[in-house]
Structure 1
Amino acid sequence: MPVAVAIAMLVVGSVAFHLFSPWWSTPIASNWGSIDSALDVTLWICGAAFVGLNLFLAWALAKYRHRPGHRAHYEPENSTLEKRLTFWTAIGIAGMLAPGLVAWGKYVSVPKEATVIEAVGQQWQWSFRYPGPDGVLGAAGVKYITPDNALGLDPLDPFGRDDILVESGDLHLPVGKPVKIVLRSKDVLHDFYVPEFRAKMDLVPGIVTYFWLTPTKTGTFDILCAELCGTGHHAMRGKVVVETPQAFAQWQAQQSSFGQILAETPPAAMSILLIKANACIVPASWSIR
């Protein structure tokens, strides 16, 4: 009997903690309300199962507790009960999967008008690359990385000369415009996550991953690494600044392009970079185009 009371109190306490908890989701600032909806459906289904099963367990412990004069009935199989459990379990799983599959289908279907922006992770900082006036990101590869070319852009690719580089700075995005964010890692597994966007994706060394979103609110939000990436994981943070298209254009005009960086590169370092560019073939998995 005490165990039954304890289980019932656990259920009541869990529901009360949820209803009065100060920890809630951050206000959403992107188009991914469908992800919130999928999480809400999962929460309600799992919550209902948690409450129902534990209260049933408490009731069964109380009703069928050992008492003098009562004898348990042994029933090794009950096909009706098993069919019912299988049916309702399948309904619950389908209810949780369906909204998530719908949200995922939209998550990987990038609009044609989305601007492509690259985020590069390394222990323990974020860097970013924007397409220049041609609207295309140049090719990049790990073999090109040098102290003067930290993001590994191909110096022989004309599409990369006007790319705008932001190393260890903030990610700026225009509000109301769809953006495809392609992701590369220079060392280990990382994960690009902005809680207000409800969007996240792993950065896997050697390949390019992506996701897309449309920012819906202006403001400054934290970029977190949601993958344990070493001793400095906790410090791998950044900022994303969502601003009006006019403010975004003004900020972008003040940034340096890859061509400008090459022009300022010392001749000796430039020679090394060009030798690397002519010596190897760019790994296809690292090429943005």
Structure 2
Amino acid sequence: MAIVIVLILVVVGSVLFHAFSPWWWTPIASNWGYIDTTLVITFWITGAVFGAVILFMAFCVWRYRHKPGRVAEFEPENKRLELWLTVVTGLGVAAMLAPGLIVWKQYVTVPDEATEVEVFAQQWSWSFRLPGADGQLGRSNARLISADNPLGIDPRDAAGQDDVIVENEDLHLPRGKPVKMLLRSADVLHDFYVPEFRAKMDMVPGMITYFWFTPIRTGEFEILCAELCGVGHGYMRGYVQIEEEDAYQDWLTEMPTFAALSGGPRIRTVSAEP
């Protein structure tokens, strides 16, 4: 009976911890409330299964406890029970997968009006590149990375001359406008993660991964690397500043362009409207 009581207390304690836990996600700051909804659905399904399994174990311990003269029955298979378990398990897995697949499709289907912003990761810092007056990013290549060209931008591509370069500074973005984040890594696996945006994606050397989001409130939000990337992993942090359009444009015009950093004439950075 002690084991039965302990199992029941595990279920009750788990429910109470979930209901009153101080460790909950941060207030959302993007359009990805769908991800929160998907997590809640997953919690409900896995929580219900967890509770059902533990309570069933408690019932079995109590129902089939030792009694003098009781003999165990041998039943190697039960087709009816197996059918029910297969159906219920299949429905549970489908209920967890379906919302995630729907949200994933939205997550990688970028709106036409989204502005492209490149995130460049290397051990153990973040750099960023934004389009200039022409509204598009120039070509880049890892083979072109050097001390004078840390992002590997192709100097022969005219579209990249007015690209805005942000090194060792915060990334600024305007509130209410969709952004497509293009993710590149110079060395090992990294992961660009801003908890308040509910948005993250692995950054794989030799590939350009992406996701999109729309910031919905102003403020300062911390960037984390969510993939173990070496001894400095815990220090690989940065910040995203979400601002109103006027403040964002003021910041943008103060940022250097690739042309200016590479020794050419500075090109004034005025973002193109989508």
TM-score range, shorter chain: over 0.9
Task: Give the CA deviation at 1:2.
Answer: 2.4
Counterpart AA for 2:119: A
1:3 to 2:9 alignment: no
Is 1:150 aligned to 2:154, yes or no? no
What is the aligned partner in structure 1 of residue 44 from structure 2? 44
Hey, what's the Cα distance between the residues in 2 that align with 1:2 and 1:261?
A: 72
AA matched with 2:77: E
**Which residues of structure 2 form unaligned runs of 5+?**
266-274
Q: How many angstroms apart in 1 are the aligned matches of 2:134 and 2:264?
A: 22
Aligned residue for 1:218? Answer: 218
Aligned ranges 1:44-63 → 2 under 5 Å: 44-63=44-63
User: Can you list the C-alpha shifts for 1:186-223, whole angstroms capped at 9, x where unaligned?
Assistant: 11000000000001001100111100000001100010
Instruction: Report the equivalent of 2:95.
Output: 95
TM-score w.r.t. length of structure 2: 0.95
What are the within-5 Å matches in structure 2 for residues 204-215 of structure 1? 204-215=204-215
Instruction: Give the whole-Å Cα distance in 1 for the aligned partners of 2:5 and 2:209.
Output: 50
Greater shift after overlay, 122-131 or 256-265?
Answer: 256-265
Helix, strand or coil: the match of 1:172?
Answer: strand
State how far apart, in whole Å, the 1-side matches of 2:18 and 2:108 are.
32
**1:14 alignment partner, SS class:** helix
TM-score (norm 1): 0.90
Partner of 2:16: 16
Task: Supply the AA of the counterpart residue of 2:128.
Answer: F
Read off the aligned partner of 2:154 and give its amino acid letter: D
1:1-289, aligned counterparts within 5 Å? 1-263=1-263
| C-alpha distance after superposition, 1:149-186 (max 9, x if no partner) | 11111111100000000011111111000000000001
Name the counterpart of 1:278. none
Equivalent-residue separation in structure 2 for 1:118 and 1:251 (angstroms): 17
Post-superposition offset of 1:264? 6.2
SS at match of 1:239: strand
In 2, Cα distance between equivalents of 1:26 and 1:71: 55
Alignment RMSD: 1.1
Q: Aligned letter for 1:160?
A: G
Structure-2 separation of matches of 1:84 and 1:166? 58
Identity of paired residues, percent?
A: 57
Poorly superposed stretches of 4+, deviation over 6 Å: none
How far apart in 1 are the matches of 2:236 and 2:4? 46
* Post-superposition offset of 1:71: 1.6
Structure 1, unmatched stretches of 5+, are 266-289
